[in-house]
Structure 1
Amino acid sequence: MKGKSAKAAFWIVAWVLVLCLWSSAAPSIVFPLYATDWHLSKATTTGIFAMYPIAIIFVLVIVGNISDYIGRRMTLMIGLMFLLFGATVFALAPNLHWLFVARALQGIGVGLTSGAGAAALVEFNPTSNTKFPGSINTITQATGVFIALILGAILIKYEPFPLHLSYWVLSLLILVSILLCLFLPKNQTSRSGRKSNWKPAGIKIPKGLWGIYLLAALAVGIGFAYGGIFLSLGAQIARDVVGTKDILVIGMVLSILSLLIAVGATIAGRMSPLPSIRIGTLLISSTLVLLVMASEMHSFILFVTSSITGGLGYGFSVTGGIGLANMYASPENKAQFLSSVFVVSYLFQGASAFGGGLASTIYGFSFAIWMLSLIVGSIALITLLSTLMITRRMVYAK
């Protein structure tokens, strides 16, 4: 597929991925309201957040390769249906139990669309730049998070039904996106012409690619781990550090992260994967130091600075990791390979989000920030060292 049709398909998939991350981040700005109105602890709110990556991991491990068999379009549409169900349950939620169900439905939806969408971007790439799809993939994440935080904050502050209205808006856009997917190629699979039957995906790494896989998974994983901290606890950190309960101010502060993710991803898209990962790991390590200092000193300037460096670090590290995976994934197993990378990444995200909330509830907010920063920072440094162990020939050979 070439020309205008490829370009149109590429940007439809990109929009679907924006909507996926919008769905995943939508509850983040509402968590403080849930905590206040329903008297929830940080462990509970981060537990709700963590239900999402748990569901994603389950989907990726079991059906992460399903789009290689039934096609990208069908997989994306099924994923969007689950996102629609999740948004609707959030919109109608009368109590805590509904939130867990809604979050699980969102996780299933994103699990189905993330691997298929990443593979589709590569296949529909309208340019000759092989790193372009990885860059766009990361930018879609940033865009989705930015819209969720800003629009969510506006709807919460200025419109009625602050716990529900943003989800109705999201539901409407998901319906429109399902219709847009009808314009994608009907039978876009990597197994055309084969009569092989579907089998559960699992985590299957081709021989000789374990080093590439682990490095890609770590690079994307530390970005997701930092994102998990920021999205699950960020609103509450901002409220404590900035010293305001104005949800719009908090949303604007948090949105800095997503804007800088897009900037980092754009720059990283012009680089080779290894240098991008190295820059990203260094920036994330620095960010965690700044986050600890901001929390201890209650410094607004340090918190904003950490958001800037964290967004850039996320953009560089995740784009580099996805780019590395795309370089080595064979066409017939591309979705499965990318899904395997995302399994580790979402495991990091869920562990950091729930671990931070649990530690905050039991030991206090300051201890939780210190603990998460030490763990994620250590993994970032391990990832940096790993890039030095991967030979230049392995990384740049095609």
Structure 2
Amino acid sequence: MRKRFGETVAVDGISLDIRGGELLILIGGSGSGKTTTLRMINRLIDPDEGSIAINGIDTQTIDGIVLRKNIGYVIQQIGLFPHMTIRENIGLLPTIEGWSREEIESRVAALLTLVHLPPDQFMDRYPKELSGGQQQRVGLARALVMNPPLLLMDEPFGALDPLLRRQLQDEFIGIKEDIGKTIVFVTHDINEAFRLGDRIAIMHEGRIVQIGTPRDLILNPADAMVSDLVGSDRLFEHIASLTVSDMMVPASSIISGDLPVQSAIEVMIQSRSTVAVVRERAASFSVLLLSTLLQRRDEVKTVLEATDPPFFLSMDVSLLSALEEMKAASVSLGLVMDDGEPAGLLLPDDLISRLV
């Protein structure tokens, strides 16, 4: 896909596959093409070459207005109508679409609750009566009002002070889990990218230089520019003095290998664990991913059939050495043992988000 503005090539031959339900970050310096890419997705501008498809449908075959009704769009400037109340700002599109007053009231109230603005306090306020962070929350609620499957966000927290920005990032992590949308998020802040993104696409001069998880980018930067952007060297300096025990998470779910599948799912959900340790015998253990168990629950009778062999780590080994060993073995989690018993789990993706 390419886009030119006069003699300037804004987007230069990128190819991108966005997975359903993921939050993909586009990051790069000014003029790297990230915002242009975002605007081409919802046809605010059209590419000069190439095509864009959503769920296999070429967006050029869809009326632009219809397309944008099904794509939420959140920008840094927010763009709330100053003469309308918060209720009217969020409910504008449903009103145009002919929703009843009761339907609009219910939807607005639910969305304000989702973005942590009590409806009874905020529905009848005007934008000028809200802080910048509150206005940004309203902008997000408005983008979600028609329940679009795709959400585009262009530096939504960029104009906020660092403390408020961090607070909204924390809130957005929870909101993201609740709404279950596919999200494309533009930022110039690598720490924000690491905290929020499932995958990160680094752009430079209209091209995608590298795309991957935070762990991919830190452990395997494509070039010196990526290494400098993600701070690989600085991160490794920081973790050089740490051991596995410093950064492991407790093994909150230890379950028996003969536990029925549905019971194991309920235990893991109740304990909010995406990974469980399975005790096969007195001193024999394996690991179980909730995602694997959910995918295979109709195929297996007990959790043992869905487990993976563990990658064992010692508590006192250096964190850097442990990460290098895991990288070499192509494993995504380590089972930390202490005196023959599971002490915790080392999850590199979680670790990186905590360090940055």
Query: Is TM > 0.5 for Structure 1 vs Structure 2?
Result: no
Relative contact order higher in (CA < 8 Å, ≥ 6 apart)? 1
Look at both structures and tell me which one has the larger radius of gyration over its CA atoms: 2
More helix by share: 1
TM-score, with structure 2 as normaliser: 0.29
